[in-house]
Amino acid sequence: MLGSATVVGVLVVLLLIAVGVERHPASVQGTGSGLLWMDVALLLTYGIAALWVWHQSRPEVSISVSVGSQVGVLLGAVHVANHVLESYVPVRPFASSSAQCF
């Protein structure tokens, strides 16, 4: 279940990247092109790892992937909170804006 959800998530993110590039082609000019290709390569690597996890049946792998995904969700929530603060809170020093997350 975890592997299939991750594969679908990777495909959705790749679709969102493609839509973003189509709507804002200037964002991939210059250094943006290298960043785009690095992000796509990392997403594809993540998707390949998800396919590997999807086909594993050993309990040790399932437990470690489950714990890793829980930690990933927690770190992702902190990252999303930081982006929300950056987007919707007036400019403040980094330490004071990020301290609200904890």
Q: Are 53 and 3 in contact (CB under 8 A)?
A: yes
Identity of the residue numbered 101: C
The position carrying tokens 């993540």 is 46
Number of C-beta neighbours around residue 6 at 10 A? 20
> What is the pLDDT of the chain when averaged over all its residues?
79
Helix axes 2-23, 31-54, angle to 10 degrees: 160
pTM for the model stands at 0.61
Q: Where along the chain do its domains lie?
A: 1-55, 58-102
Q: What is the reported pLDDT for 97?
A: 52
Per-residue confidence band for 5, with pLDDT thresholds at 50, 70 and 90: confident
